[in-house]
Every structure is written in C-alpha cells, then in structure tokens.
Structure 1
Amino acid sequence: MPTAPKLVAGLLLAALAFVVTEMVKAGLPSSITVGAVSEVNALIAFFGGWKFIGARVGKGTSAAITNGITGTFATTVVCLFVHAVEQMVADSMDRKYRTVFEAIDGAITYFLEYGSFLLTLNILGLMAIGAIIVAVAAEVASHYWR
C-alpha cells in the first residue's frame, strides 16, 4: 500500500544513493569508465527506502534512526551485489571463468573491490548522516500523513 512515509523514504534514499555514487565516481581513476551506475543505484535505493525504511515508520525516533541505518546498509549491500554480479556476467561472456565456482569467486571479488571504494571517511559519514535524515524525515511524514 503506497503511503507518504514510504514515498519520502524512497525518494530521499534514492537521492542519497545518487549523491554517494557520484562521490565515488569522482574518486575513481580516470581509466575506469562507468555507465548509468548512479541511476541504477538510485532506483535500487528507492525500493530499498520504500521497503526497509518506509514500511517501518511510526515507532519513534530511535527506532527510525535504527531503521534508517539498517535500510541504508541493506540497500548498499544490494547495490554492490547487483554491480558485482553484472561484472561477473560480463566476464563470463568473455569466457574468463572455466567453472561456476570461479564465477562465484569473481563476483565475491568484485563485491569486495566495489565495497572498498566506500571506505572513506567522507562517504561513510555522508551515508550515516544521510541515513539518519532519511529515517527522521520518514518518521515525521508518518505523523503528518497516513
């Protein structure tokens, strides 16, 4: 059932994901080319905010902050997984892997590599503060709109 808090959480988490992805892209070497990563992450984050944060509003500010951090972390994991599997499939089409287990190992390697791009103080701080803002905004929206 669509509600205003779900919409607020989805839109704000999508905006946060877009900004974080743009910050990560700015820090990448110029030899790395990326496509529509920001838009894909924003789309995933919209549904993550809708499902993980917006669906759990109405239990107070402390619960909202916890849900915001949890929802942001879960959305980050899903985004990393999607991009790691996408790269693994592209490598599989180039016949880089001989077995399924090599492909799974490749996906895990890409997951960890992409996750390491997030391990800077600026990005982690933005994600933490953004998660709190998203959650509190969704909580406030739940008090004004049902």
Structure 2
Amino acid sequence: MPDAAKLIAGILIGLLGLIVSFQVMPLFPESTAFGNFAYYNAFIGLLTGWVVMGKRAGRGITAAINNGFGGALMLVLWGLFIHSCYQMFDRAMDNWYNGAFVALAAIFEFMAEYALMLINPLVIFTLIAGGIISGLATEFAWRTWR
C-alpha cells in the first residue's frame, strides 16, 4: 500500500544513490565508461527506500536512525550485486568463463573489487549522513501523513 513514508524513503535513498554515484565515479579508472550508472543507482535507491525503509517506519527515533542505516546499507549491497551481475553477464557473452559456477563466483569477486573502491571517507560519510537524514525524514513523514 503506498503511503508518504514509502514515498519519502524512496525519494531520499534514490537521491542518496545519485549523490554517492557521482562521488564514486572519480575513484574508478579513467577508462571506465559509466553510461547511466548514476541513474541506475538512483532507481535502485528508489526501490530500496520504498520496499525496505518505508515499511519499517513508525517505530521511534532510534529505530528511524537504524532504518536509515539499513536503507543505505541495502542500497550499497544491491548496487554492488546488480552492477557485478551486469559485469559478469557482459563478460560471459564474450566467453570469458568456462562454466556457470565460475561465472557465479565472478559476481562475488566483482562485488569485493567494487566494495574496495567504495572505501573512501567522503563516500562513507555521505552514506552515513544520508542514511540518518533519510531515516529521520521517513519517520517524520510517517508521523505527519498517516
């Protein structure tokens, strides 16, 4: 059921995904072609905020902060997973892998490789601050527009 908390959570975590995407782009090698990378992450954030954070609103301020942390963490995990799957699929179409299990293992290798690129103080601070703000705003939306 759509409500204001889900909408606010989706918009704010989507915006967080967009901001963090633009912060992460300079950390990758210069030859990386990003395409619509930031917009895909914004869409992942929109879905994450709507599904994960929106339904957990209305449990108090401490739970709202934890909800924001959880939403930011799920944004990162789903983003890593989806982009790693895309990278694996792209390489699988070029016959890089000998079997299905090697290709599936490559997903987790790409996730680890990309996660190491995210270890940057600015990115981590943005995720934490954005998560707290998103969680508190979601709680406020739940209390105001039930």
TM-score (norm 1): 0.96
Counterpart mapping for 1:1-146 below 5 A: 1-146=1-146
Shift of 1:5: 0.9
Question: How many residue pairs align between the two structures?
Answer: 146
List structure 1 runs of 4+ shifted beyond 3 angstroms. none
**Aligned-partner Cα distance in 2 for 1:145–1:131:** 21
**Aligned-partner Cα distance in 2 for 1:34–1:24:** 11
**Aligned-partner Cα distance in 2 for 1:110–1:35:** 18
User: Deviation string for 1:57-114 (max 9, x for gaps)?
Assistant: 1110100111110121112101110000101011000000011121112111111111
User: Deviation string for 1:32-76 (max 9, x for gaps)?
Assistant: 111111111110110100111111111101001111101211121
Q: Percent identity?
A: 34
**Aligned-partner Cα distance in 1 for 2:143–2:113:** 41
**Aligned-partner Cα distance in 1 for 2:98–2:10:** 40
Supply the RMSD in Å over aligned alpha carbons: 0.9
TM-score (norm 2): 0.96
Shift of 1:117: 1.5
Structure 1: where are the runs of 5+ without partners? none
Shift of 1:29: 2.6
Shift of 1:13: 0.4
